[in-house]
Each structure stands twice: as C-alpha cells, then as structure tokens.
Amino acid sequence: MTDTDAAEDRQTPDRRTQILHATVDLLLENGLAATRTRAVTERSGVGTGLLNHYFRWNDLRAAAWKLIFDEVAKDTFAPGLPPDQVMDRYFAEAFAPEAERFWRLWLEATELAKQDEAIARVLGEAQTRLDSALCDVLTAGQAAGLWTLADRDATATRLGALHDGLAGLLLSGSPRLTRAAAEVHLRHLFALECAG
C-alpha cells in the first residue's frame, strides 16, 4: 500500500495503479454486481483498450479485493495495543457501518471463489490472515493473564464464524437483528468462551 501513496504523489500516477484504485473505490461503493469494466474505465478516465492491456477482468477484481482485504486485516488488528483493547476495538467495529461494504464484498467473493481460482486464492489468504491475527491476539491476552481459554484456535474460529454469520444476517436486512444486538452477541460469545 506504500506503492499507492507514492504513486498518488507523483505527477503522473501509474495508469495501472489508477485503474486498480478506481476498481477498489467502485467495489466499495456499489458492490461487484454493479461494477463492470466500463464503469472502471469511466471512473479512471482510461480507454477500454488500456484496461484490457493491463488486466483481465477476473484478475483486476482479484487484485482489488486483495487490496481491500489486506487493508481491513491491517486496520482491525492494530499492532502495539494491549490485547483486551484490540478485542474491544474488534467488537466495536465488527458491525460498524463502514464494515458493511466490506462484508458485502466478502460474501460476493465467497460466491465467486467457486468459479474463479484467483479470487479463491485471495479470499483464502485473507481468511487465514484474519483468523491467525485473531489467534495471536487471543494468545497474547492469555499470556498477559487477561483471560483463560481452553482452545484458542477453536475460540478464534467460532468468533470469526459468528462474526461472519451475524454480518450476513445484518446484510440481508433481517428486521430481527440490529447492529448493536449483533455486537452484543459477539461479545457474549467471547464472555462465554472465557468463562467456560
């Protein structure tokens, strides 16, 4: 991502980078279904030919998704904070409005992963990354005596899966679940895991 900032400073940002970031923006704004190559060319001010010179559409999607997922993984588990504060931040931001766009893209990627191997790889890496980051935080907290967990890996998997499931419920517009309630559910599971 340092490439990005450096490129934006330059007078003539790499056209390839322009295309990539236009794709990221459009994906976050409108989701995959409404993001087509033509929309990317218009947003980035680039001809259709150049876009296809640099990317095949599948690869462009995968590259943009990788940027987005990496960014989230970096933001969610900020380094240097005490583990309990990291978890608190994780719970607080789990269902924040800004996270909604991310989850929509996550579900869309899951959908596409069956057909597109590039996206499957990106999604798999992001999953592993988020899961192991969560594992690390749980381990650090346990080492610091903040909590006691019988099986940190299993707890991380359950937290991640519940997070995912609740986010999916929220996205589907279920009237029986609010953002605040979803956060409570996630915190509740963690409390149960620590107590049990």
Partner DNA sequence: AGCCCTATTGAGCAAACGCTCAGCCCCGTC
Partner DNA sequence: GACGGGGCTGAGCGTTTGCTCAATAGGGCT
The Cα 52–Cα 75 span in angstroms is 32
Q: How far is the CB of 59 from a second copy (least distance, A)?
A: 19
Q: How far is the CB of 53 from DNA (least distance, A)?
A: 5
Task: By CB under 7 A, tell whether 42 contacts DNA.
Answer: no
Task: By CB under 7 A, tell whether 47 contacts DNA.
Answer: yes
The Cα 66–Cα 36 span in angstroms is 18
Q: Are 68 and 102 in contact, with CB atoms under 8 Å apart?
A: yes
Instruction: Name the segment binding DNA (CB under 7 A); options: 46-54, 98-106, 125-133, 173-181.
Output: 46-54
Half-sphere exposure of 30 (CA within 13 A, CB side): 12
Q: Are 127 and 106 in contact, with CB atoms under 8 Å apart?
A: no
Q: Are 134 and 76 in contact, with CB atoms under 8 Å apart?
A: no
Task: By CB under 7 A, tell whether 117 contacts DNA.
Answer: no
Please say which residue, 137 or 156, places its beta carbon nearer to a second copy. 156
Q: How far is the CB of 137 from a second copy (least distance, A)?
A: 17
Binding site for DNA (CB under 7 A): 15, 36-38, 45-50, 52-53, 56-58
